[in-house]
Amino acid sequence: MDLTRLRLLVELQRLGTMAAVGEVAGMGTSAVSKHFAVLEREVGVALLAADGRRVRLTPAGHRLAAYAVDILARVEAAEAELAGAGEPAGRVDLATFISVSTPIVLPALGRLEAEHPGVDVRIIEHEPDEALALLQDGGADLALVYEYSLVPRRFPDSLTLHLIGTEPLLLSQPSDDPGADSRPLTRQRLRGLSEAHWIANSRGSDEDELVGRLCASAGFAPRIRHRVDNLEVVERFVAAGQAVGVMPKLAAATRRGVVHSPLGDLGGNRRVYLVGRTGAWAWAPIRLVARRLHEAAGDVLDGVGPLPAELAPPERDGTHGEPEREGFRGL
C-alpha cells in the first residue's frame, strides 16, 4: 500500500469530502478519486460507498484508516530516527575481546546508559576471527578487534574499519629467571630465551605467528608448551615459572613473580579497530556507540586520533527527507 494513498484515506476520514481532501493535498478531486480506486484494488475490499453526491467510508475503510494513522506515525518516527532527529533508541550487538572490556567497553556503556537509556548494547566476547564472522553473518552490529603490527590481518571488503588506537606489547617473564629485566627487550636477551617454554592463545593463530616472528628475529623457533585464553591465567602461569609469553599492556597486571619488558621495535604493537558493516554507521545508535568507545579508548590507548568523519554526529540542517506536503502535517 502506497503511503500517499493511506494519508489521503486518513484525511478523508477527518474532513469528510473528496473536495476537502484534494484541497489540503494539492490535488484535483479526480486525482484523489483515482488514488482511492487504486487503494481499493490493493487491499481487495471496498473502502468507500456512495452517499448521495458524496462518499463515506465503509466499515473496512474506517478500520484501514485507523491502521493508517499508526502506520504513518511509525514511518515518521523511523525517518526521524534514521535522520538523527530525536533520541536515539535501539539494540546494538557489540562483539569485543576480553582485554578491552574493562578499560574501554565498561566506561563507554556507563556513559551511554546515563545519557541515552534507549540504546541497548549487548556484549558478545569473541576473538577477532569470530567477531568478524559474526559481523558478516549479521550476528553482531559492531566489533572491537585487534591485529598485531607484525601479523597484519586481511579484513573483508564488506566491512569498514576505523583504527582507534594502539598499545605496546610486553614480554611476561618469571621474576626469578636469569636475565629477567623490566627494561626494553633486546635481541640479545631474547636469544637467551631460546630454550624457554612459551605460552600462547588457545583460540587464535595470530599469537602463534607473533611469537614465531618475534623469536625468528633472534634466530630461533619458540617452544610453545601451553595454550591458554584467559590472560589472567597466563600471568599466573608465568608467575609460577611455567612459561614466558607476550602480553598486551592493557592486560598486564602488576603481579608478584612477573616482570614485564616492553618489546619495542622487536615485537611492534597491537592495533585496536572499530569494525562495522559498510553503510551501517548511518544508523544513529551504532554511530553513538562507536563514538563512546572511541572516547573511552582515548584514556587508555596510544595514538588515538580525532573522531572519524563517519562517526561524527550528522549536521542538523533541516533538509532531511522530502519537503513537507501541505495538509499532511502531524500525521
* pLDDT value at residue 317: 34
* pLDDT value at residue 152: 93
**Residue 84: which pLDDT band, with cuts at 50, 70 and 90?**
low
Residue 328 has pLDDT above 50, yes or no: no
How many other β-carbons are positioned within 10 Å of the β-carbon of residue 167?
23
* pLDDT value at residue 282: 79
Sign of torsion, CA 73 77 83 87?
positive
* pLDDT value at residue 204: 65
Cβ distance 199 to 243 under 8 Å? yes
Identify any residues that bridge with 144 across adjacent strands, giving them in sequence order: 274
Q: What is the mean pLDDT of residues 165-192?
A: 91
Between CA 130 and CA 114 the distance in angstroms is 30
Residue 106 has pLDDT above 70, yes or no: yes
* pLDDT value at residue 82: 63
Q: Residue 320 carries which side chain, given as an amino acid letter?
A: H
- Residues near 228 by beta carbon (within 8 Å), at least 6 away in sequence: 199, 201, 202, 234, 237
* pLDDT value at residue 83: 63
Between CA 98 and CA 80 the distance in angstroms is 35
Which of 314 and 302 is assigned the larger pLDDT? 302
- Residues near 162 by beta carbon (within 8 Å), at least 6 away in sequence: 273, 274, 275, 290, 294, 308, 310, 311
Between CA 223 and CA 242 the distance in angstroms is 12
Q: What is the mean pLDDT of residues 297-313?
A: 88
How many other β-carbons are positioned within 10 Å of the β-carbon of residue 157?
7
The model's pLDDT over 192-207, given as tens digits with 9 standing for 90+, comes to 999 999 998 877 678 8
Residue 38 has pLDDT above 90, yes or no: yes
Residue 249 has pLDDT above 60, yes or no: yes
Q: Which of 53-62, 80-89, 92-101, 255-264 has the lowest mean pLDDT?
A: 80-89
**Residue 320: which pLDDT band, with cuts at 50, 70 and 90?**
very low
* pLDDT value at residue 252: 86
The rounded mean pLDDT for the chain is 87
Residue 87 has pLDDT above 70, yes or no: yes
How much of the chain, in percent, has pLDDT values that exceed 90?
57
Q: What is the mean pLDDT of residues 78-104?
A: 82
Cβ distance 262 to 189 under 8 Å? no
Q: What is the pTM of this model?
A: 0.70
Residue 223 has pLDDT above 90, yes or no: yes
Total residues belonging to the chain = 331
Residue 326 has pLDDT above 60, yes or no: no
Q: What is the mean pLDDT of residues 239-252?
A: 92
